[in-house]
């Protein structure tokens, strides 16, 4: 006769695998702060960049063009700016740094500086200037890419760009091969290189010792 079987049998312990499952699959709320529901993207990917980092990226893309004028000068007038201004200006004198954005055309219809510019030693014009430029003994250099619509009264004028206006050079005036000048010239010494265009009248001034 076979032995009798127990009426009640112990059920297998199902809690043995719970601990490993809990370790492998942590609670869902732990991941919720870092995951956007239904997108699969983390919340970090949707955050905006810090202001300082955005500023560095914008500065890296911004390539300023050559300054309108190079040199130490006193300016009074209007200056439209499409770029960045840094420094300080006050009644007692100051210095500002201007970084203008590049332009699509070589010559723009609106001047970058419109007013009166005075200097002592040397001034170089690289952009579009209108108004009046004066210096009793200084040297004015007008770059080949520059455009000046102004009355010029300086010691020495070296012109390689376009000038619309009268020019007075107390010492001399030089027109380079790429110069285009529409106006009158008054100077004791005039040099015109081949290729230059000059339309106007020329008047010879007396030098400091009285010679013409």
Alpha-carbon gap, residue 101 to 95, rounded angstroms: 20
Say how many residues make up the chain: 212
Q: Which domain holds residue 46?
A: 18-61
Together in a domain, 144 and 45: no
The DSSP-derived string for the chain is -PPPPPS--PPP-TTTTHHHHHHHS--GGGTGGGB-TTT--BGGGGSPPPHHHHHHHHHHH------SEEEEEEEEEE---SEEEEEE--TT--EEEEEEPP-SSSS-SS-SEEEEEEEEEEEEE-SEEEEEEE-SS-EEEE-TT-EEEEEEEEEEEEE-SEEES-EEEEEEEEE-TT-EEES-EEES-EEE-TT-EEES-EEEPP-TTS--
Predicted structure pTM score: 0.64
Per-residue pLDDT of 3-51, as tens digits, reads: 555 555 555 555 444 544 444 555 544 444 444 455 454 444 334 445 5
Per-residue pLDDT of 82-141, as tens digits, reads: 777 777 766 566 677 777 777 665 555 688 889 999 999 999 999 999 999 999 999 999
Together in a domain, 32 and 131: no
Choose one of 42, 61, 80: the last residue of a domain. 61
Together in a domain, 153 and 92: yes
Together in a domain, 76 and 49: no
Tell me if 165 sits within 8 A of 147, measured CB to CB. Answer: no
**Within-domain flag for 13:** no
Together in a domain, 131 and 152: yes
Number of neighbouring beta carbons within 10 Å of residue 65 = 15
**Within-domain flag for 11:** no
Together in a domain, 129 and 150: yes
Total domains in the fold of the chain: 2
Tell me if 78 sits within 8 A of 128, measured CB to CB. Answer: no
pLDDT of residue 112: 87
Together in a domain, 106 and 187: yes
Together in a domain, 169 and 80: yes
**Within-domain flag for 54:** yes
Together in a domain, 39 and 77: no
């Amino acid at each position: 006769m076979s032995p009798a079987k127990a009426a009640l049998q112990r059920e297998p312990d199902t809690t043995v695998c719970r601990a490993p499952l809990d370790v492998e699959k942590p609670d869902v709320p732990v991941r919720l702060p870092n995951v956007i529901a239904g997108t699969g993207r983390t919340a970090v990917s949707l955050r905006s960049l810090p202001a300082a980092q955005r500023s560095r990226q914008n500065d890296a893309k911004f390539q300023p063009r050559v300054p309108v004028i190079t040199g130490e000068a006193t300016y009074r007038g209007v200056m439209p700016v499409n770029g960045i201004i840094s420094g300080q200006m006050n009644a007692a004198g100051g210095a500002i740094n201007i970084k203008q954005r590049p332009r699509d055309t070589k010559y723009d219809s609106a001047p970058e500086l419109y007013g009166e510019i005075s200097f002592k030693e040397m001034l170089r014009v690289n952009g579009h200037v209108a108004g009046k430029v004066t210096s009793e003994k200084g040297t004015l250099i007008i770059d080949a890419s520059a455009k000046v619509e102004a009355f010029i009264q300086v010691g020495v004028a070296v012109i390689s760009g376009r000038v619309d206006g009268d020019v007075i050079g107390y010492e001399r005036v030089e027109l380079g091969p790429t110069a285009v000048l529409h106006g009158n010239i008054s100077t004791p010494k005039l040099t015109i290189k081949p290729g230059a265009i000059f339309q106007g009248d020329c008047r010879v001034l007396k030098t400091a010792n009285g010679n013409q």
